[in-house]
């Protein structure tokens, strides 16, 4: 069964360990047309239910591992959709890859195409995990009337304050767990020295990063075994971060939106407490829930807590404050 992955920094990434069977979407793909191209997506839930779109991390990762989140939302009464972004997995493209602002614009247009295919002109709930939280903000900046609720799950904060020390934290965690130091930041720029082959590079980067995003390092290693090179584009990962840094979503813009924004995250996340502190200092968050016993994938690590937090978030009337967990 596929699980979710959405990590962070320049190669805030996914993991692929040796030769385990590759996991895949477990539901049939549906399609809509965008600029004469068929875009695949996966939806669950009653077609008359309110719609939630779940955006995953990377950037440049497949989204099949968001299925547990998708199922939770469907169980809570939402028609819920996930999809690979252009250039990755089911929506890989041939020819020259998009770069810079054109890449982010294409991804925003893709989300808008999905929304229109699901609800026409109606608004949706957007849940973004890790980088996906930034993608949700980018979309909302372009289409503020199309979103009625934002849920930021283990998010990267808009100013990326929490990103400054992530590579160092991964290095330290890996050294502690495996007894080997790895402090060569050039590896995050894909100068790994292992091969010029993209698939080999992707595997090298992913297997060094993902386990550190689990409290149980061995669980992270097992999780990584489900991914292969088709799930990750290192080029899009770097291009996505580069483009966002050039044109970030600023807090002044977010404050103009009349949209409730919820935070769900793990106390031990590599992005904590900086991410939550930055968000709280600049925004009036509607709901905050901090989970224990997890790092970056709470639906995998503490599924019961995660389900409760998600239920609490999307089931409460918009704008209603809930008790905040420190």
The pLDDT assigned to 17 comes to: 31
The pLDDT assigned to 293 comes to: 97
Sequence-distant (≥ 6) Cβ neighbours of residue 21 within 8 angstroms: 226
Q: How many CB atoms lie within 10 A of CB 126?
A: 27
The pLDDT assigned to 229 comes to: 80
Asked, as a colleague might, if the bond just before 273 is cis with ω within 30 of 0, I would say yes
Burial of 99 (0-12, 13-18, 19+ CB in 10 A): middle
pTM of the full structure: 0.85
Q: How many CB atoms lie within 10 A of CB 235?
A: 18
Burial of 107 (0-12, 13-18, 19+ CB in 10 A): buried
Provide the angle, in degrees to the nearest 10, between the axes of the packed helices 234-246 and 100-119.
100
The pLDDT assigned to 325 comes to: 40
Phi, psi of 39 (to 5 degrees): -110, 130
The pLDDT assigned to 231 comes to: 86
Domain ranges of the chain: 30-315
Rg of the chain over Cα atoms, rounded to whole angstroms, equals: 18
In angstroms, rounded to a whole number, what is the distance separating the alpha carbons of residues 282 and 279? 5
- Cα dist. 13→144, 156, 194, 234, 311 in Å? 29, 13, 18, 9, 27
The pLDDT assigned to 23 comes to: 78
In angstroms, rounded to a whole number, what is the distance separating the alpha carbons of residues 250 and 272? 20
Per-residue pLDDT of the chain (326 residues; tens, 9 = 90+): 333 333 444 334 333 333 345 678 999 999 999 999 999 999 999 999 999 999 998 899 899 999 999 999 999 999 999 999 999 999 998 766 788 999 999 999 999 999 999 999 899 999 999 999 999 999 999 999 999 999 999 999 998 876 666 655 655 565 566 666 545 444 434 444 445 666 676 666 667 778 888 999 999 989 988 888 888 888 898 999 999 999 999 999 999 999 999 999 999 998 999 999 999 999 999 999 999 999 999 999 999 999 999 999 998 654 444 444 44
The pLDDT assigned to 101 comes to: 95
30-315 folds as Rossmann fold (3.40.50)
Per the listing, tokens 């980067």 go with: 205
The pLDDT assigned to 319 comes to: 44
Q: How many CB atoms lie within 10 A of CB 179?
A: 7
CB 18 within 8 A of CB 229: no
Q: In what order do the strands lie in the sheet with 37-44?
A: 30-34, 37-44, 79-82, 51-55, 124-129, 147-153, 261-266, 287-291
- Cα dist. 119→88, 114, 180 in Å? 25, 9, 51
């Amino acid at each position: 069964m596929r699980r979710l992955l959405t990590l962070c920094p320049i190669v805030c990434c996914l993991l692929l360990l040796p030769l385990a069977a590759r996991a895949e979407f477990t539901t049939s793909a549906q399609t809509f047309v965008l600029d004469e191209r068929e875009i695949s997506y996966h939806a669950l839930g009653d077609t008359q239910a309110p719609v939630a779109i779940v955006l995953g991390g990377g950037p440049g990762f497949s989204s099949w591992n968001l299925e547990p989140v998708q199922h939770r939302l469907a169980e809570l009464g939402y028609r819920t959709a996930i999809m690979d972004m252009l250039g990755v997995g089911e929506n890989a493209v041939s020819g020259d890859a998009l770069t810079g602002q054109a890449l982010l614009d294409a991804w925003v247009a893709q989300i808008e195409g999905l929304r229109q295919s699901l609800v026409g002109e109606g608004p949706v709930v957007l849940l973004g995990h890790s980088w996906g939280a930034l993608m949700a903000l980018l979309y909302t900046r372009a289409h503020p009337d199309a979103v009625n609720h934002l849920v930021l799950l283990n998010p990267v904060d808009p100013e990326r304050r929490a990103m400054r020390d992530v590579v160092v934290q991964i290095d330290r965690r890996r050294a502690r767990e495996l007894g080997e130091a790895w402090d060569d930041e050039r590896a995050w720029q894909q100068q790994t020295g292992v091969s010029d082959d993209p698939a080999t590079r992707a595997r090298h980067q992913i297997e060094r990063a993902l386990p550190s995003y689990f409290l149980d390092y061995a669980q992270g290693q097992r999780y990584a075994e489900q991914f292969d090179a088709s799930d990750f584009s290192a080029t899009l990962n770097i291009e996505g971060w580069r483009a966002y840094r050039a044109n970030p979503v600023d807090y002044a813009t977010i404050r103009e939106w009349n949209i409730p924004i919820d935070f769900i995250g793990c106390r031990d996340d590599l992005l904590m407490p900086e991410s939550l502190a930055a968000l709280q200092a600049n925004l009036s968050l509607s709901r905050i829930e901090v989970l224990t016993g997890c790092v970056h994938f709470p639906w995998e690590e503490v599924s019961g807590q995660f389900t409760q937090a998600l239920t609490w978030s999307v089931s409460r009337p918009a704008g209603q404050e809930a008790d905040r967990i420190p």
